[in-house]
Structure 1
Amino acid sequence: MSGRRADLAIVGGGLSGGLIALALRQARPELDVVLLESGEMLGGNHRWSWFDTDLDEAGHALMAPFRKAEWRGYDVFFPDHSRSLDASYFSLASSDFDPGLRRELAQDTIRTNREVVHCTPDSVTLADGEVIPARAVIDCRGFGPAHHLRGGWQVFMGRHMRTSKPHGISRPVIMDACVEQLGGYRFVYVLPLGARDIFFEDTYYKDDPVLDRSALSSRLDQYAREQGWDGEIIGSETGVLPVISGGDFRAFRREQQLDRMPQAGTAALLAHPLTSYTVPQAVETAQLVAANADLPGDQLAALLASHAQRHWNRTSYYRLLGRLLFDAAAPNKRYRIFQRFYRLDERLIERFYAAQSAPFEKFRVLAGKPPVSILRAIGAIFGKSQPLVMSNDRKAHGA
């Protein structure tokens, strides 16, 4: 059975798919848009964060409809260096992403609990046999096995706790690396969501994508005890994200058929290669689609493939740093790279997270006494990292 013909059908109601639907609603409210999500809630069970300087005025306007946490300034802690920085920081939970989209989008746009079994540039087939024809279809499902890419992984488990008494934290802690380093760069990420609400996440830059839930949960328990926190656990999340340090993008582009099927989000590698932040890239892509909303599927595929290629080209520097992190630094000494980085100029740090580093800033990050062996650094620059492959039933998702 076939449904109505939509102008655009978006497969995947995560960050990228949801923001594309929102940008289309704001720019072209007359269009018939369908947003398909396999789960019950848009955005799944995730939290996305970004710095004020990651987005321009239009980008902040796109994110304005969502209820989110905001702080002025943040802290970092390393064994030999701590620092407070001034940039504003934002965080959005999927529990606020879902109602925000439902408020803003047309009532017949959102279709949750819809499993997609096949999609083409102009149609979507659901598990129940329904076919949704559309002028253009955009696949926004997550990152899968990528044999032509290389790098490591960011593995994490986060927990939202309502503490029995005020926790006393007033600013986010983006990195607390004063924890035991266990087989990779490890840090704890802390967000004070209220006087008695705290979100904290144990994060690892690892060579493999293994997520040991029991071990990470125990370490979160330990961290909470050390901070004097106790109370009720009201939410948790886990994730495995690719940290891309190299590869053959042209081969990846052919393998993923980016030129034939319109794709966005992490499936098209539209994320910061080193930090795995996705909000700036998701906003940029949503605005690009909204500005070209009348294109048919094949032309939209070409546009988005070129957009992904440009992003790959302009982020080569961050992949180089990823090779230094994974291939030049001993796993338990990787924290030294970030410890040194956070001694640099604050504006440099801001532009780094926005993936907009100026040429002299790129040089400055690498200049001076390196935190890794020169010989190992040279080997990492000219060598190859391990392939970014994980099993089909453990797809990574956006952060």
Structure 2
Amino acid sequence: MPDPADRRPFDCAVVGGGLQGALIALAWLERRPTARVALVERESAPSTERTWCFQDEDLPPEARGFVAPLIEHRWPGYEVRFAGLRRTLGTAYFGFTAAHATSVLRQRFAARTDCAHLVGRRAIAIEARRVVLEDGSALEARLVVDATGAERRTSPKAPCGYQKFVGLELELAREHRLERPILMDACVDQAQGYRFFYALPFGPRRVLIEDTRFADTPELAPEELRAEVLRYAEQLGLAVSGVAREEHGVLPMPWGEHRFETAGPPLRAGYRGGWFHPATGYSFPLAVRLALLSTAVEPERLFDGPLRELARALEAPARHARALNRLLFRWFEPQDRAHVFERFYHLPEETIRRFYALRATFLDRARVIVGRPPRGFSLRARWRASERARGIAREVAHA
């Protein structure tokens, strides 16, 4: 911790210790070693409710230095399973938990006595050059980053689907036989919409399994999904002896209003600023790029052009991703949506990698949409989707 008598402003003050806040803080500590960095976290105890994964294509070479300490698990590839396709992809896959990220942050800040890691401290005002804390104290900084998480950025009536999930990290009585992650196992009931199980082998006797649903509404039924996770574990032949932890979430999949926030200061980062992949809900690829950009230019120049240039570079692949969301939720009946993903995973592996990294080229985008439509594409589904959307809008209006 810095000397309380030291009143010099920080170079970077980050509010929010989630994925985006952690990556920006670590990027500054690694890439700007003489800079004074502050990270403010509202919670005193580390969260156990998040696991973040990414593919090798998501990680620019210049980011490997500050991301490497975060990596807890690495696999040489992963597999996907559909009714008409079973495929192993050779793209390296990495993962880490929120608890591990917290440990890394604490170690990095402990080694820098001129920097500050403030936990259990709530920010009541996040301004252009200042963060005001609940106790009345304030941090001055050349760059202030608001990474406090999602807020409602769209009208409740705005067109949007949802990816919702419940995951259980399972302790096993005997070793499993999973050789690599199962990114999507859609060989399950699809009657209520696209659904798949996601399995990450963390160790010989520890596996994280998530039941994921792509749905028209954000409501989550945790008890039902917990039971389904345990049922799926049994189908995999896993001898479950306990549950180490649980995680859950609801991620937006917009096809209408969505923007990358470039106004500032302060820098609105992560979900707070709309910096996430519209078609997956994942934020790691953009969080890394934003963290790099924040260290690449002086804070006073960030909003003059570099931030807008990054948003412009992302707009074409993001617009394409939003169009795919519209296709999925408006042109396919819920029970037919799995066919969209099965067709997608027939594409070349490099196209799939770039799509997830939100770096899809014009040719990649053409490959995704050109050709025979997936089974289930219909005008009737489009009409029924419109009826569902109007029904949801009426419910919101009368809520």
When normalised by structure 2's length, the TM-score is 0.87
1:341 Cα shift? 0.9
Q: Judge conservation of contact 1:120–1:261 (CA < 8 Å) in 2.
A: yes
Q: What corresponds to 1:206 in structure 2?
A: 215
Identical positions, percent: 33
Q: What corresponds to 1:66 in structure 2?
A: 70
Cα distance change, pair 162–44 in 1 and its aligned pair in 2 (3 A):
closer
Number of aligned positions between the proteins: 382
Separation of aligned partners in 2, 1:215 and 1:377: 27
Cα distance change, pair 136–55 in 1 and its aligned pair in 2 (3 A):
closer
Q: What corresponds to 1:347 in structure 2?
A: 350
Q: Judge conservation of contact 2:128–2:264 (CA < 8 Å) in 1.
A: no
Cα distance change, pair 380–111 in 1 and its aligned pair in 2 (3 A):
farther
Cα distance change, pair 347–384 in 1 and its aligned pair in 2 (3 A):
farther
1:226 Cα shift? 2.1
Q: What corresponds to 1:258 in structure 2?
A: 263
When normalised by structure 1's length, the TM-score is 0.87
Separation of aligned partners in 1, 2:232 and 2:322: 31
Secondary structure of residue in 1 paired with 2:267? coil
Whichever residue aligns with residue 94 of structure 2, its letter is F
1:36-67 residue CA offsets vs partner (Å, 9 max, x unmatched):
11112456631111111222221223311224
Whichever residue aligns with residue 247 of structure 1, its letter is E
Whichever residue aligns with residue 370 of structure 1, its letter is P
Query: Does residue 284 of the first structure (1) align with residue 289 of the second (2)?
Result: yes
Unpaired runs of 5+ residues, structure 1, are 392-399
Q: What corresponds to 2:187 in structure 1?
A: 178
Instruction: Say which structure, 1 or 2, has more relative contact order (CA 8 Å, 6+ apart).
Output: 1
1:360 Cα shift? 2.0
Aligned with 1:191 (options 186, 200, 219):
200
Aligned with 1:236 (options 225, 242, 246):
246
Q: Judge conservation of contact 1:263–1:305 (CA < 8 Å) in 2.
A: no
Whichever residue aligns with residue 357 of structure 1, its letter is A
Q: What corresponds to 1:397 in structure 2?
A: none
Query: Does residue 359 of the first structure (1) align with residue 366 of the second (2)?
Result: no
Aligned with 1:79 (options 67, 79, 83):
83
Secondary structure of residue in 1 paired with 2:159? strand
Unpaired runs of 5+ residues, structure 2, are none
Q: What corresponds to 2:96 in structure 1?
A: 92
Cα distance change, pair 138–385 in 1 and its aligned pair in 2 (3 A):
farther
Cα distance change, pair 381–287 in 1 and its aligned pair in 2 (3 A):
farther
Whichever residue aligns with residue 275 of structure 2, its letter is L
Aligned with 1:114 (options 113, 121, 127):
121
Q: Over aligned residues, Cα RMSD in angstroms?
A: 3.0
Separation of aligned partners in 1, 2:5 and 2:216: 45
Q: Judge conservation of contact 1:66–1:97 (CA < 8 Å) in 2.
A: yes
Separation of aligned partners in 2, 1:382 and 1:159: 35
Aligned with 1:225 (options 223, 234, 245):
234
Secondary structure of residue in 2 paired with 1:247? coil
